[in-house]
Amino acid sequence: MKIAISAAGQNKESILDRRFGRCDYFLIFDTETGEYKAMGNNGVSSGGGAGIAAASQVIDENVSAVISGSVGPNAFELLEKADIKVYKCEELPIFNVVEMFQKNELLQVNIAGNAHNGMK
């Protein structure tokens, strides 16, 4: 299974970025192989529609789940339509986030966060 995690850096020691649409990077993890890659977030420099740009980017990566601190309503709707599950996590090292996901310790989110949360 491939998962996308909003991150402040490019490796698994980086901290989860609570902002989905405005995070600096996404770490795309393959939970079966343990391999990952870092991608710059296309939404980070958007004047508007950052969440939509970010959601489109992770959808293109064929992930099954997204882990972030908060996903706004427009991004959440796109992810939901693509059958991508959204999970919430605090600002922890990415390797801890992956462990928690694999142990089913993360809360699945069924409702979007506030719009423009990443602007704060």
pTM for the structure as a whole: 0.91
14: left (phi over 0), alpha (psi -120 to 50) or beta: beta
Structurally, how many domains does the chain consist of?
1
Contact between residue 35 and residue 15 where contact means Cβ atoms under 8 Å apart? no
Query: Helix 50-60 and helix 73-81: axis angle, to 10°?
Result: 20
Q: What gap in Å lies between CA 81 and CA 88, rounded to an integer? A: 18
- What does the longest C-alpha to C-alpha distance in the chain come to? 37
pLDDT, tens digit, 9 for 90 and up, residues 22-41: 999 999 999 999 999 999 99
Which CATH number does the domain housing residue 57 bear? 3.30.420.130
pLDDT, tens digit, 9 for 90 and up, residues 42-64: 888 877 788 999 999 999 999 99
Q: What gap in Å lies between CA 11 and CA 97, rounded to an integer? A: 12
Element housing 101 (H / E) = helix 94-102
